[in-house]
Amino acid sequence: MHFAFSEDQTLLRDTVRDVLAKECAPEVVRRVWTGSNEERVPVWGTLAENGFVGMAASEAAGGMSMSEVDLALVLEEAGYAALPGPIVESALAGLPLLEQLSAGTPHAAWVERVVSGEATLGLYFERQSLALHAPLADLLLVVRGDALYAVPRAEAGLVAQTAVDRATSVATLDYKPSPAHLVARGAAAQVAIQLAYERAALGNACVMVGLARRMLDLAVAYAKDREQFGKPIGAQQAVQHHLANAAGRIAFAQPVVYRAAWALANRDRAGGESRREAELAVSMAKIYAEEAARFVAKVALQVHGAIGYTIECDLHFFMKRVWTLAPFYGTAAVHRARIGAHIL
Amino acid sequence: MMDLDFTEQEQAFRAECRAWLEANVPKQSLPSGDTREGYALHLEWERKLFDAGWSCVSWPKEYGGREASLYEWLIFEEEYYRVQAPSRVTQNGIFLLAPTIFEFGTEAQKARILRPMARGDLSIAQAWSEPNSGSDLASLRSTAKRTEGGWLLTGQKTWSTRGAFSDMAYGLFRTDPSKARHKGLTYFLFPLTGEGVTVRGVDRLDGDEGFAELFLEDLFVPDENIIGEVDKGWEVAMATTSSERGLSLRSPGRFMATATRLIELYGRYRETCDPALRDQVIDAWMGAQAYRWYTFKSVTDMLTGKPIGAESSLNKVFWSEMDVRTHETALAILDERQCLDEGSAAADDEGAWIKGFQFALAGPIYAGTNEIQRNIAAQRVLGLPRG
């Protein structure tokens, strides 16, 4: 038993943290909101150049064959910065899926484009009612039954919608499967698709933890600064207790999420038993992270008071990102049902 | 490298614990350890545990331990609660006083106290609170006056856990009345029998005589009963309270076992109970799991030079509130019969849930109320100003 990240893993986290602090500051997110940013997804080029987008791809494809544990802290930082765009889908969930199933097909050419940052990926699982990051993503990986289709944006029948988080694009999809898009089908494809779902849920949980941390930091800074009755509001016990509760949610979500990353990275070490353990761990991570982020959002808003209820204040980027991303890859209710099926 | 599997050594340790516990845990559960009759039976069990080397697995061998790692101690706890072994009536000694003695005690004190205490031959209770000093412990007023060869203790202590059945107690006394609050206090061990001390048992919420009030009047205590230095008692005591809030007071094994029993209970009534309770049962199971992983991560942090510190306040709030919710869920599953106390023929699990519920309600109060814990977390983890 040893429950800590390695020095390399925390160094990687520090690097991505620095990059995002410089290139994805709130004013950049604000420009994406208002549609005035030059890049559709800011920082993407820098992230790809530094190898962050291709982390999970094989070395042959220009990646680093990194695991869920390596990616967990990087994605948490993406959440902390409210990085717009399909980072979970491109870096963790979609890229290894595409690389594995497209080998020897014309679709394999996309892998290198994603690793280099030239193209981004979206994921659309069965029974999903909305495509996340579409129409922004260049290639949509669409699951139908036991088959995976790789669908260029223009051919997916997308109708753009407007999410409460304007920095995240969403669309409905009216897609008729075409043989030209088929990547793979059958039992092996299904296993890979299921793994991609687990990775997407885990990545989403990592982003939620990062968002929660950022909202708590904003609320604590505000509570130290804002004075009423002649002292900082953060000196009031009622405010302190709200913030302590928020800190507690994050403190307990983190080990649950990190443990899920480890369980997923080591899912095959003991056959069916360890795969079951990984599924349970991912579901717990999704629930703890989502509920922590939703809770911290409410606390942060309450502590900010009226200023938090405006779009002048940066807080809303982070809250609305939570509300937009949280239902994807299984709501807390879906994951509770999955746990219940295992343990009850 | 992160590795969340147990090593071969840790797995072998678990197998050894499990085999011994399964062979030796009393088949019939003992009467409550917070009653006079039950306490004596629990001490017999503690003796058996100690003689087989399972009382304090992480202690040095010379004091009866087996020098197990902290991970192994957590494994032992999981196995201990899994078989529903008797509650540890020595815990205020072995988990709260012992770390203080290891850190501040003299070699003579270690030799005199640790083994008999762990074996149940010498029962030592905590005596922190006074009638007017609970959360605000530093306002305490009991005094110790210099006399030939020792000290005379005078004052009143209260909520002394199992103090009514114990041989000795530990607590703080004002040795320098000219100094205020945290200064001028000294950490004493003192007897609970003989001239100068009166012990009055107090029935807890669940009816057991688990508490005691201690009245001291010129109780003589020799110098050798001081732990640490004279007038430095606050520093010594704080070392104990941080271990109380941290790992040792409530290891995850207890809550994992409670969650397992809750799942069994739900299995009994799933067809008839409110379907909404299903999610609450899942939440109880997840809470125990989350606490387990949080704890393993804390142990790794400690072993790699990152002490727990004020974050342990968040930990105490988490497990104490989780324990209340878990018991509330069990009561809801039991429907009308949730009110049935021990001794009712129709009570499920011998009335353990209503009793456990009452004990769980003490969790947010003892070892520093959850309000105080939230203040500590806000000020020392988040850096908010003092009110």
> pLDDT digits over A113-167, tens only?
999 999 999 999 998 999 999 889 999 999 999 999 999 999 999 999 999 999 9
Predicted local distance difference test score (pLDDT) of residue B261: 98
Window 294-353 of B, Cβ < 8 Å to A: 294, 296-297, 299-301, 304, 311, 313-315, 317-318
Predicted local distance difference test score (pLDDT) of residue A34: 87
A223 touches chain B (CB under 8 A): yes
Query: Is the pLDDT score of B246 beyond 90?
Result: no
Q: What is the DSSP letter of A89?
A: I
Among A10, A143, A15, A26, smallest CA distance to A89 is for A143
- Which among B300, B381, B383 has the least Cβ separation from residue A2? B300
Enumerate domains of chain A plus CATH numbers: 187-343 (1.20.140.10)
3-state secondary structure of B143: strand
Kindly report, residue by residue over A164-208, the tens digit of the pLDDT.
999 999 999 999 999 999 999 999 999 999 999 999 999 999 999
Query: Is the pLDDT score of A279 beyond 90?
Result: yes
Predicted local distance difference test score (pLDDT) of residue B141: 96
- The DSSP-derived string for B150-214 is EEEEEEEE---TTGGG-SEEEEEEES-TTS-TTTTEEEEEEESSSTTEEEEEE--TTS---EEEE
Residues A282-290 have a mean pLDDT of 98
Among B263, B382, B386, the residue to mutate for chain A (most A Cβ within 10 A):
B382
Enumerate domains of chain B plus CATH numbers: 124-235 (2.40.110.10), 250-381 (1.20.140.10)
Among A4, A46, A9, smallest CA distance to A28 is for A46
User: B384 φ, ψ to 5°?
Assistant: -75, 155
A235 touches chain B (CB under 8 A): yes
**Across-strand partners of A185?**
A147
Q: Are B124 and B177 in contact, with CB atoms under 8 Å apart? A: no
Through-space distance between the first and last CA atoms of chain B, rounded to whole angstroms: 42
Predicted local distance difference test score (pLDDT) of residue B248: 67
Query: Is the pLDDT score of B245 beyond 60?
Result: no
Predicted local distance difference test score (pLDDT) of residue B247: 67
pLDDT above 70 covers what percent of chain A?
A: 100
Predicted local distance difference test score (pLDDT) of residue B387: 80
Query: Is the pLDDT score of B243 beyond 60?
Result: no
B266 touches chain A (CB under 8 A): yes
Tokens 């959002």 locate to A297
Among A227, A239, A240, the residue to mutate for chain B (most B Cβ within 10 A):
A240
- The DSSP-derived string for A196-258 is HHHHHHHHHHHHHHHHHHHHHHHHHHHHHH-EETTEEGGGSHHHHHHHHHHHHHHHHHHHHHH
pLDDT band, very low/low/confident/very high, at B185 (cuts 50, 70, 90): very high
Q: Do B384 and A339 touch (CB under 8 A)?
A: no
Give the Å distances, CA to CA, from A22 to A15, A43, A51, A74. Answer: 11, 9, 17, 15
Enumerate the residues of chain A whose CB falls inside 8 A of the CB of residue B299: 1, 3
Residues B81-99 have a mean pLDDT of 93
Enumerate the residues of chain A whose CB falls inside 8 A of the CB of residue B278: 340, 344
Query: Is the pLDDT score of B162 beyond 60?
Result: yes
Query: Is the pLDDT score of B242 beyond 70?
Result: no
Q: Do A241 and B267 touch (CB under 8 A)?
A: no
CA–CA dist B255, B259 (Å, integer): 6
Regarding predicted confidence, which is higher, B216 or B210?
Answer: B216
**Per the structure block, which two tokens stand in for A307?**
């200023």
Kindly report, residue by residue over A308-325, the tens digit of the pLDDT.
999 999 999 999 999 999
Query: Is the pLDDT score of B240 beyond 80?
Result: no
Predicted local distance difference test score (pLDDT) of residue B249: 72
Kindly report, residue by residue over B122-145, the tens digit of the pLDDT.
999 999 999 999 989 999 999 999
Predicted local distance difference test score (pLDDT) of residue A187: 97
Q: Do B385 and A243 touch (CB under 8 A)?
A: no
Q: Are B272 and A229 in contact, with CB atoms under 8 Å apart? A: no
Q: Do B297 and A3 touch (CB under 8 A)?
A: yes
**Per the structure block, which two tokens stand in for A188?**
């092996």
- The DSSP-derived string for B62-107 is GGT-----HHHHHHHHHHHHHTTPPP-TTHIIIIIIHHHHHHH--H
Enumerate the residues of chain B whose CB falls inside 8 A of the CB of residue A243: 378, 382, 384
CA distance B141 to chain A (A): 27
Enumerate the residues of chain A whose CB falls inside 8 A of the CB of residue B374: 237, 240-241, 244-245
- Which among B279, B286, B387 has the least Cβ separation from residue A237? B387
Q: Are A219 and A300 in contact, with CB atoms under 8 Å apart? A: yes
Query: Is the pLDDT score of A38 beyond 80?
Result: no
Computed over every residue of chain A, the mean pLDDT equals 96
Q: Are B109 and B101 in contact, with CB atoms under 8 Å apart? A: yes
